[in-house]
Amino acid sequence: MQLESKVPAGSIEEKWDNHRFDVRLVNPANKRKYEIIVVGTGLAGASAAATLAQLGYNVNVFTYHDSARRAHSIAAQGGINAAKNYQNDGDSIYRLFYDTVKGGDYRSREANVYRLAQVSVEIIDQATAQGVPFAREYGGLLDNRSFGGAQVSRTFYARGQTGQQLLLGAYQALEQQVHRGPVQLHTRAEMLDLVVHDGRAVGIIARDLVTGEITRHSAHAVVLATGGYSNVFFLSTNAKASNASAIWRAHRRGALFANPCFTQIHPTCIPPSDEFQSKLTLMSESLRNDGRIWVPQEAGERRPANDIPAAERDYFLERRYPAFGNLVPRDVASRTAKKVVDQNRGVGPLENGVYLDFHDAIARLGRDTIEARYGNLFEIYERITDEDPYRVPMRIYPAPHYTMGGLWVDYNLESTIPGLYVIGEANFSDHGANRLGASALMQGLADGYFVLPYTIGDYLADYLSTDPVGTDEPAFADTEAEVRTQIDRLLSVKGTRTVDWFHRELGKLVWDFCGMERSAEGLEQAMSEIPSLKEEFWKDVRILGSNESLNQSLEKAGRVADYFDLAELMCRDALHRDESCGAHFRVEYQSGEGEAMRRDDDYSYVAAWEYTGDAADPRLHREELDFEYVQLAQRSYK
Partner 1 sequence: MRITLEVWRQDNSAAPGAFKTYDVPDITPDMSFLEMLDIVNDRLVESGEEPIAFEHDCREGICGSCGLMINGQAHGPQLGTATCQLHMRKFRDGDHIVVEPWRARAFPVLRDLVVDRSPLDRIIEAGGYITVPTGSAPDANLIPVPRDVAETAMDAAACIGCGACIAACPNSAAQLFTAAKLAHLNLLPQGQPERWDRTVAMVEEMEQWFGACTNHGECEAACPKSISIDFIAMMNADYVKALRYNRRKAGQHA
Question: In the bound complex, what is the minimum distance in angstroms from residue 138's beta carbon to partner 1?
Answer: 5
CA 63 – CA 394 distance, rounded (Å): 36
CB nearer partner 1, residue 311 or residue 383: 383
Question: In the bound complex, what is the minimum distance in angstroms from residue 542's beta carbon to partner 1?
Answer: 6
Q: Does 226 help bind partner 1 (rule: CB under 8 A)?
A: no
Q: Does 466 help bind partner 1 (rule: CB under 8 A)?
A: no
If we measure between CA atoms, which residue out of 2, 7, 3 comes closest to residue 628?
Answer: 7
- Of residues 30-69, those binding partner 1 (CB under 8 A): 47, 50-51, 54, 65-69
CB nearer partner 1, residue 236 or residue 429: 236
Do 374 and 292 touch, CB atoms closer than 8 A? Answer: no
Q: Is 207 a catalytic residue?
A: no
Q: Which residues pair with 294 in a beta bridge?
A: 355
Q: Which stretch binds partner 1 (CB under 8 A): 338-346, 377-385, 599-607, 615-623?
A: 377-385
Q: Does 139 help bind partner 1 (rule: CB under 8 A)?
A: yes
Give the residue, chosen from 3, 75, 214, 533, that forms a contact with partner 1 under the rule CB under 8 A. Answer: 75
Residue 45: helix, strand or coil by DSSP? Answer: helix
Do 145 and 91 touch, CB atoms closer than 8 A? Answer: no
Do 204 and 195 touch, CB atoms closer than 8 A? Answer: yes
Question: In the bound complex, what is the minimum distance in angstroms from residue 69's beta carbon to partner 1?
Answer: 6
CB nearer partner 1, residue 31 or residue 251: 31
DSSP H helical ranges for 143-191: 162-180
Sign of the alpha-carbon dihedral angle for 407, 413, 415, 421: positive
Question: In the bound complex, what is the minimum distance in angstroms from residue 563's beta carbon to partner 1?
Answer: 18
**Active-site entry in 207, 216, 330, 577:** 330
CB nearer partner 1, residue 187 or residue 519: 187
- Of residues 340-369, those binding partner 1 (CB under 8 A): none
Give the residue, chosen from 453, 468, 507, 515, that forms a contact with partner 1 under the rule CB under 8 A. Answer: 453
Size of the site for partner 1 (CB under 8 A): 78
Q: What are phi and psi of 353, to 5 degrees?
A: -145, 175
In 57-93, which positions are buried (b, 16+ CB within 10 angstroms) versus exposed (e)? bbbbbbbbbeebbbbbbbbbbbbbbbbbbbeeeebeb
Question: In the bound complex, what is the minimum distance in angstroms from residue 330's beta carbon to partner 1?
Answer: 19
Give the residue, chosen from 7, 135, 365, 461, that forms a contact with partner 1 under the rule CB under 8 A. Answer: 135
- Of residues 596-635, those binding partner 1 (CB under 8 A): none
Q: Does 563 help bind partner 1 (rule: CB under 8 A)?
A: no
Give the residue, chosen from 131, 322, 366, 470, that forms a contact with partner 1 under the rule CB under 8 A. Answer: 131
The enclosing H or E element of 191 equals strand 189-197
CA 424 remoteness from chain centre? 8
CB nearer partner 1, residue 141 or residue 323: 141
Give the residue, chosen from 25, 241, 365, 493, that forms a contact with partner 1 under the rule CB under 8 A. Answer: 241
Q: Which string of DSSP letters, residue by residue, matches 196-263?
A: EETTEEEEEEEEETTT--EEEEE-SEEEE-----GGGGSSSSS-TT--SHHHHHHHHTT--EE-TT-E
- Of residues 152-191, those binding partner 1 (CB under 8 A): 158-159, 161, 164-165, 168, 171-173, 175-176, 178-179, 187
CB nearer partner 1, residue 165 or residue 434: 165
Do 438 and 107 touch, CB atoms closer than 8 A? Answer: no
Question: In the bound complex, what is the minimum distance in angstroms from residue 449's beta carbon to partner 1?
Answer: 5
If we measure between CA atoms, which residue out of 93, 79, 175 comes closest to residue 134?
Answer: 79
- Of residues 264-303, those binding partner 1 (CB under 8 A): 273-274, 276-279, 281-282
Q: Does 111 help bind partner 1 (rule: CB under 8 A)?
A: no
Question: In the bound complex, what is the minimum distance in angstroms from residue 626's beta carbon to partner 1?
Answer: 31
Question: In the bound complex, what is the minimum distance in angstroms from residue 365's beta carbon to partner 1?
Answer: 20
- Of residues 540-559, those binding partner 1 (CB under 8 A): 542, 544-545, 549-550, 552-553
- Of residues 471-510, those binding partner 1 (CB under 8 A): 496, 498, 500-501
Q: Does 86 help bind partner 1 (rule: CB under 8 A)?
A: yes
Cβ atoms within 10 Å, residue 35 = 19
Give every strand in the sheet of 183-186, ordered side by side.
Answer: 183-186, 58-62, 35-39, 221-224, 420-422
Q: What secondary structure letter does DSSP report for 195?
A: E
Question: In the bound complex, what is the minimum distance in angstroms from residue 176's beta carbon to partner 1?
Answer: 5
CA 329 – CA 637 distance, rounded (Å): 8
CA 611 – CA 257 distance, rounded (Å): 8
Q: Does 136 help bind partner 1 (rule: CB under 8 A)?
A: yes
CA 529 – CA 524 distance, rounded (Å): 9
3-state secondary structure 327-365: HCCHHHHHHHHHHHHHHHHCECCCCCEEEEECHHHHHHH
Question: In the bound complex, what is the minimum distance in angstroms from residue 445's beta carbon to partner 1?
Answer: 10
Give the residue, chosen from 106, 316, 381, 449, that forms a contact with partner 1 under the rule CB under 8 A. Answer: 449
Q: What are phi and psi of 197, to 5 degrees?
A: -135, 130
CB nearer partner 1, residue 397 or residue 449: 449
Q: Which stretch binds partner 1 (CB under 8 A): 97-105, 129-137, 257-265, 512-520?
A: 129-137
Give the residue, chosen from 28, 90, 140, 309, that forms a contact with partner 1 under the rule CB under 8 A. Answer: 140
Residues classed as catalytic: 330
